[in-house]
Structure 1
Amino acid sequence: MASRLVAASQAPLPANAHTVAARLNVAISKLAGTATGQSPSLAVAIAENGRLIYDRGFGKAKPNTRFRIASITKMFTAVSILQLVEQHRVALAASVATYLPSVPYARKITVRELLQHTSGLWNYVNAAFVDGAVRKPTTPAAILALAASHPLGFAPGTKYAYSNTGYVVLGLIVEHVTGQSLSTYEQQHIFAPAGMHDTTFGRAAPNATMAVGYMTPHGPRATAYDPSWLFADGDIVSTAADVARFDIALLGGKLISPQTFALMQQNPVETHDASGSYGLGVQISSPLGYRFVGHHGGVPGYATDNEMVPSHGLAIVVLSNSFDFITGRVNRVVLRTLLPVSPVAAIREDPAITARFRLTLLSLLEGEMDRSKFTPKVDAALTPDVLKQTVIALKPLGAVTSVKYRSMRKMRHGNAYYYDVTFADGRTMTWEFALTARGKIAAIGSTGG
């Protein structure tokens, strides 16, 4: 393990920076390793009030170890677009055809809908990995040609459905408007201003240490894929500290104005899953009682998370080389160490809802469910195969031994409740249980542990 205490911190650190770093080191080091639930290589960086205050590698990782940051990449693509919006070179309400008339369904989709995953464009990534196409190089044009063979999933702007395809289009818009490659543009307008010197596209720089990706902490190694398949939606390689520098620049107004950063968070669409809601290139959630603004990422071999807590000037970056690692476990350690108990947690528990959550969870763990209790969207998502895989994944944890209420947050069409669930093996995970105003289950799932 290697660490770097970057600077002493201002409030709200509960003690001096060295004491806090020591507490974090002890807690996070328990999550590094090759046992179930751990990560062979784990890198964590924390920024507070414009400064990098913590940067450490655990397991086989050092602070300068590179990881694929996966969908955190989308934040960079979104910031690129919003820089062009500030310059009046791109309009959020404009149709894609304004810039790229040959893109599938270009006249029906707006730039805003691409950013918020409400375009209806077919998501190409899963199919490309399943059929093995990712083993050979591709181009953004070839990816869009695949999307053209699929109809829109719904009328643009009417629903949310995560689509990597939309971010490929956004990357091409940046290239068309600026006359530069996306990588060159972001190097000049994001990496350089933010002071990111250990960040590249596609592959790590020569002689850089790259974390080897695994599907689980004890293997197997993730199947290799060509990063060209993740253009603009997941192709950046970086360190935890460099991603934290991006957050510092974003929170500090160096990349976009504070007004535009606020715009990224305005009028988010509900995702109806544990990710909360989605703004303009950022996920917005409150799983631990604090308002997170950032993005989770996952590609075979890597699980990543970049979360800012703007109200506290805080940013937490977690990079793992195990695809099944729950990054929220690190966020939980950091928040409990650095910040006071969230006032959201003071909202009184509703015992009836807790009892309903426990019953639903136990049924889910048995692979059974009363489908009449769920929204149509969740019902459709919980296929027999998904239920089977859920049972397989959670069975090693043993029986549920306790369920403890944490907090509640209001959604546009209901409420989300959060619980600490402890299993027989001693592991505790935070679960979300969302209900619509009519009492239908809109989400149930682990947000971390």
Structure 2
Amino acid sequence: MKNKFIITIVVVCSFLSCAKNQNLDDYLASLEKEKKAMGTVSVFKEGKEFYTKSIGYSNINLNKKNNSETKFRIGSISKTYTATIILQLVDEGKLSLNTKLKDFFPTIPNSENITISDMLYHRSGIFNITTDKNFEVWISEPRDRAEVIAKIKEYQSLFTPNSITEYSNSNYILLAYIAEDVDKETFADIIQNRIVKKIGVSKTAFGKDIDFSNNEAMCYYPENNKWHPITFHTNLLGTMGAGGITATANEVSVFYNALFTGKLLSEKSLELMTTPKEKMGMGISVDEFNGMVVYGHDGAIDGFRSMAAYIPELKLTISFTFNASSGSSTQKLMQIFKSYKYTINQKK
């Protein structure tokens, strides 16, 4: 959940770049051989997957390799799912973008001036809970709603709502709680009913403790040219809609394609989601590459690194879910991708 909400244009650039001497298979094989990454890549064109490849291990000790059905923690890509759920509630007239936070959580500083829209756009001024001292230790234990809200309200509002954009995971934690209050269901059930069932997937869910028997990936860090397990994990009960979802790379692509082709939101809500303020949409970032609009989000939680992007002009969706990378942040992973050029070969 350390994502800095940077659209992964360099990754998209690499996928679209062309070189005669190295294709995507070669590139991913080099990442595996050089111990730069382990995970799965999924590429969709016009709504259908035409390339997928998995590299490395989901669990080294158990000698289990990653495959197309391996599930990964996707970190802050979860925010796109959460924004979709909130906008569905708006479409149904159960919530308004102008609804004030005070209607749900009046004890949050400045809640009387913060709207649902401000939170979706990261323009609320709410303190980012993940920057709290010793947060990584605190969040490793199960945290309920009362504990999380108590932690958030320890800090005063950082700025006047809707005056600037400043990324805050707290926004999407609170938005998930709001969805629970409106739908009167757990966030896990909301994901199933509002996303999973609607797009016909089966391996996307609100995450629990990692279950290796259920083809869920362990995460790793590199040291001395070896992968070492990261055993100190975030408890996803505290991350909620900011970073609590697990999925396969394929199902992230299915979701992104369904979302941006109008299968989950009204035309009006999708237009709102993709209309940026300071390059920030609702649960996504909005940027350009070679004159083409790109919608996307990256994710980082524990040792997991992920990315999803959709390019409407090309009807192209790109997702990767990695359980290991040689960098300590998403930015480092982007540099690795940027250093390579390759073509996408159509899957036979």
**TM-score, normalising length: structure 1:** 0.64
Counterpart code for 2:27: A
> Do residues 191 (structure 1) and 196 (structure 2) align?
yes
Counterpart code for 1:326: L
Q: What residue number does 1:282 align with? A: 284
Distance across 2 between alignment mates of 1:212 and 1:57: 14
Cα contact 1:81–1:170 (8 A) shared by 2: yes
Shift of 1:151: 0.7
Q: What residue number does 1:255 align with? A: 264
Structure 1 residues 284 and 69, CA gap change in structure 2 (3 angstroms): same
Distance across 2 between alignment mates of 1:85 and 1:316: 28
Structure 1 residue aligned with 2:244, among 235, 238, 247?
235
Structure 1 residues 283 and 338, CA gap change in structure 2 (3 angstroms): farther
Distance across 2 between alignment mates of 1:301 and 1:150: 28
Q: What residue number does 1:216 align with? A: 222
The gaps in structure 2 that reach 5 residues or longer are 1-15, 58-65
Q: What residue number does 1:48 align with? A: 45
Distance across 2 between alignment mates of 1:95 and 1:31: 47
Q: What residue number does 1:443 align with? A: none
Task: Provide the secondary structure at the position in 1 that maps to 2:89.
Answer: helix
Larger Rg, first or second structure (1 or 2): 1
Cα contact 2:191–2:206 (8 A) shared by 1: no
Cα contact 1:74–1:234 (8 A) shared by 2: yes
Distance across 2 between alignment mates of 1:260 and 1:335: 36
Structure 1 residues 206 and 300, CA gap change in structure 2 (3 angstroms): closer
Query: Which residues in structure 2 correspond to 1:92-103 (within 5 Å)?
Result: 92-103=97-108
Cα contact 2:257–2:310 (8 A) shared by 1: no
Q: What residue number does 2:277 align with? A: 269
Task: Provide the secondary structure at the position in 2 that maps to 1:229.
Answer: coil
Shift of 1:163: 0.5
Cα contact 1:71–1:296 (8 A) shared by 2: yes
Stretch moving more, 95-104 or 181-190: 95-104
Distance across 2 between alignment mates of 1:96 and 1:131: 26
Q: What residue number does 1:293 align with? A: 295
Q: What residue number does 1:386 align with? A: none
Task: Provide the secondary structure at the position in 2 that maps to 1:211.
Answer: coil
Query: Which residues in structure 2 correspond to 1:71-150 (within 5 Å)?
Result: 71-127=76-132, 130=135, 132-150=137-155
**TM-score, normalising length: structure 2:** 0.81
Distance across 1 between alignment mates of 2:257 and 2:317: 8
Shift of 1:283: 1.1
> Do residues 316 (structure 1) and 324 (structure 2) align?
no
The gaps in structure 1 that reach 5 residues or longer are 1-12, 15-21, 271-276, 340-449
Distance across 1 between alignment mates of 2:169 and 2:147: 14
Shift of 1:51: 1.4
> Do residues 178 (structure 1) and 180 (structure 2) align?
no
Shift of 1:285: 2.2
Counterpart code for 1:49: E
Cα contact 1:202–1:236 (8 A) shared by 2: yes
Cα contact 1:140–1:168 (8 A) shared by 2: no
Cα contact 1:50–1:248 (8 A) shared by 2: yes
Counterpart code for 1:51: K
Structure 1 residues 289 and 321, CA gap change in structure 2 (3 angstroms): farther
Structure 1 residues 205 and 215, CA gap change in structure 2 (3 angstroms): closer
Shift of 1:196: 1.7
Cα contact 1:128–1:134 (8 A) shared by 2: no
Counterpart code for 1:253: G
Kindly provide the CA deviation profile for residues 226-245 of structure 1, in whole angstroms up to 9, marking residues without a partner as x. Answer: 22121111011110011111
Cα contact 1:316–1:331 (8 A) shared by 2: no
Q: What residue number does 1:66 align with? A: 71
Cα contact 2:141–2:234 (8 A) shared by 1: yes
Q: Report the number of matched residues.
A: 311
Cα contact 1:293–1:309 (8 A) shared by 2: yes
Q: What residue number does 1:305 align with? A: 307
Shift of 1:259: 3.3
Distance across 2 between alignment mates of 1:150 and 1:198: 37
User: Larger RCO: Structure 1 or Structure 2 (Cα < 8 Å, ≥ 6 residues apart)?
Assistant: 2
Distance across 2 between alignment mates of 1:134 and 1:155: 28
Shift of 1:140: 2.6
Q: What residue number does 2:333 align with? A: 326
Cα contact 1:73–1:235 (8 A) shared by 2: yes
Tell me how large the CA RMSD over aligned residues is.
2.7
